[in-house]
Amino acid sequence: MIRMAVFLGNAGKEYEKTRHNAGFMLCSFLYPDAVFSVKFHSAWAKEGSLVIIKPLTLMNRSGTAVSEAASFYKLKAEEILVVHDDLELELGKAVLQQGGGLKGHNGLRSIKERLGSDSFFRLRIGIGRPVHGDSARYVLSPFAKDEIIKLEQLFSLIASEPVFSSDKLLLSV
């Protein structure tokens, strides 16, 4: 059972609508009225029995926030869901899985290192891969207006599914 949902992104106005912030964007969509406090190097809130965190560290150091919260709540990796952007999935797709490869995602790598396990659940939000150019620059670039519409359609679909109680899920708009 998922007891903590971690939404990955980078804090700061300049990153607000960037591809790397797909996790933060989904959190705002799902929990628009959540009241966040600062704890565990994160924006932190509770929705019922679910702990929600948005790490305030840079993406590549997300493991610090996740491990602090997991330690405080005595959570196993299997009780944590990490929501993140994924270059390998096209925009408009999302996949829920447990464990698996890191696919070069430094936020996931940091979490795995700090938890000592990769058995946490992941909700991978597709942002697509750039046709040309640098992936690092791409993930920090903002979504186009038509891409935001597609992303919000996906978020609506995610909101209508039992994401936090499923073992495997594939969504597409």
Stated pTM of the model: 0.91
pLDDT tens for each residue of 32-45: 999 999 998 999 99
Q: Whole domain around residue 84: which residue ranges? A: 4-172
Spans of the chain, pLDDT less than 70: 162-173
pLDDT tens for each residue of 80-109: 999 999 999 999 999 988 888 777 777 889
Count of CB atoms within 10 A of residue 45's CB? 18
Report helix, strand or coil for 135: helix
Q: Residue 14 sits in a domain of what CATH number?
A: 3.40.50.1470
Give the per-residue pLDDT at 56.
Answer: 94
Give the per-residue pLDDT at 59.
Answer: 84
Distance of alpha carbon 108 from the chain centroid: 9
For helices 145-159 and 22-30, what crossing angle results, to 10°?
50
Q: Is 84 a catalytic residue?
A: no
Q: Quick one: CA dihedral 38, 74, 103, 158, positive or negative? A: negative
Give the per-residue pLDDT at 160.
Answer: 85
Which one of the listed residues 20, 41, 84, 105 is annotated catalytic? 20
Count of CB atoms within 10 A of residue 19's CB? 25
As for how many domains the chain has, the answer is: 1
